Chains A and B, each alone.
Chain A
C-alpha cells in the first residue's frame, strides 16, 4: 500500500476548504464534509451567552492558529500481532492522524466484522468484507448526516468538515464479542488539531466493548476535537469507555452521540484527567421501546484545569431507562462543571430516568458547578436528579484513623472510594489504570 496523501498541512479554519479538496475521498464522504462546512460557515463560535457554554469561555482561542493534516495511508497497517493480546478482539493505534498499528481477530474478520482506520474504510481499499461494506458505508454516512443535521454548535460542524482520522467498527447481526476493541490515540506536536472520528455500528443483537484512550506527549499543544457516533441496533449492547489524558497545555473538545434502538443497551463511560480545558458532551437517544442507558463520568481536575461535561438523556420512546452518574474531585484552583439534562418527549411514557452528580471540593479555591435539568413532556414517568457538593468527611477520616490508618492514607482511601462505584463497573483493562491516575493526583489535605 503506497502513501496516497503527502501529509500536506492546512490552517485550521481558513484552510478547511483546501483541506477537504486535497483529500482522496469518494464523493459521498466529500459531500458530508461540504454539508458540514456550509453550516459551519454560517455559524458563530459558541459564546457564554448560550447556557451550555456559559461557564466555558472559548473566546480566547484562535482556532486558525492550529494546523491539521489528513491521515496518511500507512504500510504499517495490520502490523500488530493479534495473538499477542489474548483479551483483545482488535486494536488500532494512531500517532497523530496516522494509524501505526492495526489488528483484528481473523475469526471476527471472516464473520464480517469490520474494524479499520476510517480513511481506509472510506477509500474501500481494504480486503473484501463479504458484502457488508455497502451496508456499513450506508450506516456510516447516515450517522454523519444525522450528526451534521443535529449539530448545534460550530465546533461540532468544524469536526465533521475537517475530521482528520478515525475508526469504523461494524458488527453484524447477533455477533457477541467478548474481547474488547481498543482504540489508542497518541497525540503530539505543537498547535496541532486532532479531529478523530469513531463510528460504532452494531446490527441487531450484536454486543461489543470498546476502550478508547487519548493520551499524548508531555510537551506540545494539541487541540482535540473528536466525535463518536454510535448506532445500537435492536437488542444490541455496547460498552464504550473513553480515557482522556492529554497534557496540561492541550485542549479537548468532544461529542458523543449514541442512538439506541428497541431493547438496545448502552453503557458509556468517560474519565477526564488531561488538558487545560475540556468540554465534552455525551448524548444518548433512546429511540426504541425498552432500551436502556448508563452514563458514567469521572473527572479530577487539578491546578487550573477546567473540565465541563454535559450529558443528555433523550427519551423518544416508551418504557426506556437511563441513568447518569458523574463524580468529580476538584483540587487546587481547578473548576469542574457538570450539566445534565433528562429530556422526555411526548412518546416517552413509563420512562425511568435519573441523573446524579457528586462533587468533592478538596480545598478552598476549587470550584464545582452542578446543573441538572429535567424537561418532561409526558405523564407517567419516573425522573429525578440529585446533586451534592462537599468536602471529604472528617468523621470518615476519624473512623479510619481509629482503625490505625494514617490521615493521609485515610483520605486517599476515601477519595478512591468516592470514584470506586463507577470505576468498578468499567472494563477490567481500564480499572487499575484509572485508580493509578487517581492515586497520582492525590495530595493529602489533612482535615483531621
Chain B
C-alpha cells in the first residue's frame, strides 16, 4: 500500500498574521489557550511578525530524515509513515539531545515539571492518520497554510513560483534543506531576511553522525589488533630477555624484535 507522506506548504505571501492557526492548534491538541511569543512546551506553532510586514509561522518541520529521530538514544521520537514526527514519553529519558540536534530549534521541554516531557508539533498525527487535515491548515482563512501529501505540495509550490515569479523569491525552503522537510515555505523575500536557518546542507544531518558511527566496528577491530599486538610484542621482548637460551627461533618478525 502506498501511503503518501503528508506535509504543509506555508505561503508567506498569503499570510495575514491572524493567528488562527495557533488558536486552532491549541484546541485540537488540548493545549492551554494562552499563546506564547515563541515555541514552548505549550505553544506548538506561533506566527511572528517581521518588520517588513511579513508574517512567518514557526513549527516543527517534520524532516524527511529528522536529526531528532536519529539523535534519540531510546527512539522516543519517530517518523511515522504518514509524515509526522511523533514522541513517546514512556521511553524518553529527558536527555534533551533532540533539542541540541534540531536545526530549527523546535523541540521544547517542560522545565518546571517533575515529570517533564519533550513537547512539539506532531503534525496532528491522530487526525492525519485518519486522512484529515491538520488543525492549523483547517483554520487558515487565506490558505497560507495548505495541507497535502508532500509530493503534491512540492508541485504546487513550483507552479506558484512559475506562475508569478515576481511575487516569489525563487526558492522552496524545505525542499532540499537537511534532505527535505515535510513543512515547506514560500516567501516573497530571501529566507535569510526572515531569520530562517540558511546554513543548512542538502543532506540529512544524521548522515554526518552515521558516517562516523559506521566506523565503530573498524575502530574496535583495529584497536584490538593494535593493543593485542603491542601486548604480545612488549611482553615477549621481556620474556626473551629473561630466558635467552630457551628461545626457539620463531618467524622472522619475532626475531627482528628481539
| A in complex with B | no
Interface residues of A (CB under 8 A from B): none
